[in-house]
Structure 1
Amino acid sequence: MTVSIAPSELAKSIHSGEKTTVLAAFWAPIEGAGLTLFRSEHIPTSLFCDPAMELSGIPGSAEGRNPLPPLPILAKAFRSWGLNTDREVVVYDQGRSLYASRAWWILRWAGIPNVRILDGGFRKWEEENHGHAGGPGNFPHFCNVRPNPGQMPVATIEDVRAHEGILIDARDPGRFAGRHEKLDLKAGHIPGAINIPARSLLNDDYTIKTPEEIRKYLAAAGVTSGDGVIVYSGSGNHSSQVLAAMEHAGLTGAAHYVPGWSQWSANPRNPVERSA
């Protein structure tokens, strides 16, 4: 199972009636606006996925901005999407694939094995003129799947404190260096981390780079395997994208520190490192 799917391949799958559940992880800063965007236009057969309400728990300084979703919330979402063992899942968002990557990782962590990310997102789909629909979206199929968490490696803050392997910070270089920080309480990064911005693993049009390109880029930073690697970002979105890219490149097994910098920086006892 590959990580990404091209718009042309998804279009063919939809038009031929193949068993595919398509989730649109649309987010907007105003509450409810993601659903409004979805109802305005989406890929035919899509169902709406609310990243804030269905892919995350209640935020807090002790838990981070986007902690793992509670199992009852995830089970309800599974039913509303009609997840089924005989149907592949394709996730997409408006174009950058951050929320699609979050959906990919959460679903994989919760035991859904066949999940792919639409390469280039809805923007690429529209550029290739595959057509869109409006309205409430598709009716869900019968759900025969329950969340089975723990199917992807997870790291806690204690694991990060004790970690002696490679620690990857997936945020942009400015936030990593501590030059600016608008989302979390402090600027900087966890001491010892290296910066692999999620954006660096994508092409200019936000499609994912080839496995060969990703392996070469990561190898230059000393990452040649997922073993012994922990990945974090601000709150689990950019890090999900790096983890998806690593799996795309065949570098599996890295652990995800989901609360990330939002949790680490909220504790005044945790050390902070800044770069020139």
Structure 2
Amino acid sequence: MPVSALITASELRSLLDEGANVRILDVRYRLGFTDGHEQYLAGHLPGAVFADLEAELAGHGAPSEGRHPLPSDDALQSAARRWGIGQGQTVVVYDDSRSLPASRAWWALRRAGVADVRVLDGGLSVWRAEGGAIEEGEVVPAPGDVVLVSPGSADILDTAQVDGWAGVLLDARAPERFRGESEPIDPVAGHIPGARNLPIAEVLTANGRFRSPSEIEAAFEVVGAGEEVPIAAYCGSGVTAAQLALAGALIGREVTVYPGSWSAWSNTTGRPIETGAVPIEVDPLEE
């Protein structure tokens, strides 16, 4: 039976009470802020190790690679061992930002062969609200012995490959950024030609938890990402796209991620750009 990509606060508490072999990662991160580690030190789930999205779950290169390119395979394995992940161990990841950074960790580790990675649905706020214990200070585990696979460029798209994508390309950004009405970060506003907009908010509830599988499936269907269609996703810098991949996993849809996303596309000379809304063709019999 496939392992669920999500875990509830009560399920995690039960695992911890049973003494299960679980490694918890705190992946708190907010764009434009550097206080994730400080927030972690002030209070985190018992035994949680801090995972730095900027330093450990992303690489750094030229603007044409995007703001959050993937780290090298070797760098990710070094980070995973620093986090104390053991071979075959269950990993639970969480944050306090609508599971966005945690989804990046889930996607990166799953792609690297960690079989049992789960995102704490609702994150730290739900854990606190349900009476979960909190610890302060740094947790420094013994180095782990996990052996990650080296996927390299498999199962992702680079900027050149996006042009030849044969399926549906989903843009997970907010509608105003997709339409090119607003662009607070990247040098050019708009979207990749042919992309369809599925804002990440469409698969989350108001309090940042994932919607039901039927609701997520309906959101995918509305933009033409049906069961038999290859799906790829991008966002601003490849983090929200990973969360859309997680949403896809919850309904059995494989979503290929373009890690460079709009930050890479808009910084690559000669790439075409569209603005405005994209009409979605709907079968009249389904209306």
User: Which is worse superposed, 220-229 or 205-214?
Assistant: 220-229
Match of 2:70 in 1: 68
Structure 1 runs of 4+ aligned residues shifted over 6 Å read none
Match of 2:137 in 1: 135
Deviations 1:171-229 (A, max 9, x none): 11111111111111111100100000111101111111111111122112211137522
Deviations 1:16-57 (A, max 9, x none): 2101110000124344x2111111000001011000000000
- Return the alpha-carbon distance in structure 1 between the equivalents of residues 276 and 172 of structure 2: 15
CA positional deviation for 1:141:
5.7
Amino acid across the alignment from 1:176: F
Match of 1:256 in 2: 257
Contact 1:39-1:137 at 8 Å conserved across structures = no
What SS does the corresponding residue of 1:116 show, helix, strand or coil? Answer: strand
From 176, 194, 210, the equivalent of 2:196 is 194
Residues 204-223 of structure 1 mapped to structure 2, 5 A cutoff = 204-223=206-225
Match of 1:90 in 2: 92
Contact 2:155-2:256 at 8 Å conserved across structures = yes
From 145, 148, 151, the equivalent of 2:150 is 148
User: Which is worse superposed, 128-137 or 218-227?
Assistant: 218-227
Aligned Cα RMSD in Å? 1.7
Aligned residue pairs total 274
Q: Structure 2 vs 1, CA of residues 267 and 142 (structure 1 numbering), >3 Å: closer, same or farther?
A: closer
Contact 2:48-2:139 at 8 Å conserved across structures = yes
Amino acid across the alignment from 1:90: V
From 1, 5, 8, the equivalent of 2:10 is 8
Q: Structure 2 vs 1, CA of residues 138 and 225 (structure 1 numbering), >3 Å: closer, same or farther?
A: farther
CA positional deviation for 1:148:
2.6
CA positional deviation for 1:75:
2.1
Match of 1:181 in 2: 183
From 51, 55, 58, the equivalent of 2:57 is 55
Match of 1:100 in 2: 102
What SS does the corresponding residue of 2:23 show, helix, strand or coil? Answer: strand
- Return the alpha-carbon distance in structure 2 between the equivalents of residues 167 and 16 of structure 1: 43
Deviations 1:205-260 (A, max 9, x none): 111111111112211221113752211111111101110000011112x2111100
Contact 1:79-1:142 at 8 Å conserved across structures = yes
Amino acid across the alignment from 1:205: N
Residues 162-177 of structure 1 mapped to structure 2, 5 A cutoff = 162-177=164-179
Match of 1:44 in 2: 46
What SS does the corresponding residue of 1:39 show, helix, strand or coil? Answer: helix
Match of 2:274 in 1: 273
What SS does the corresponding residue of 1:162 show, helix, strand or coil? Answer: coil
Match of 2:236 in 1: 234
Unaligned runs of 5+ in 1: none
CA positional deviation for 1:59:
3.9
Contact 2:88-2:115 at 8 Å conserved across structures = no
CA positional deviation for 1:142:
3.4
Q: TM-score, normalised by structure 2?
A: 0.90
Contact 2:220-2:226 at 8 Å conserved across structures = yes
What SS does the corresponding residue of 2:107 show, helix, strand or coil? Answer: helix
Match of 2:282 in 1: none
Match of 2:285 in 1: none
What SS does the corresponding residue of 1:244 show, helix, strand or coil? Answer: helix
- Return the alpha-carbon distance in structure 1 between the equivalents of residues 55 and 125 of structure 2: 23
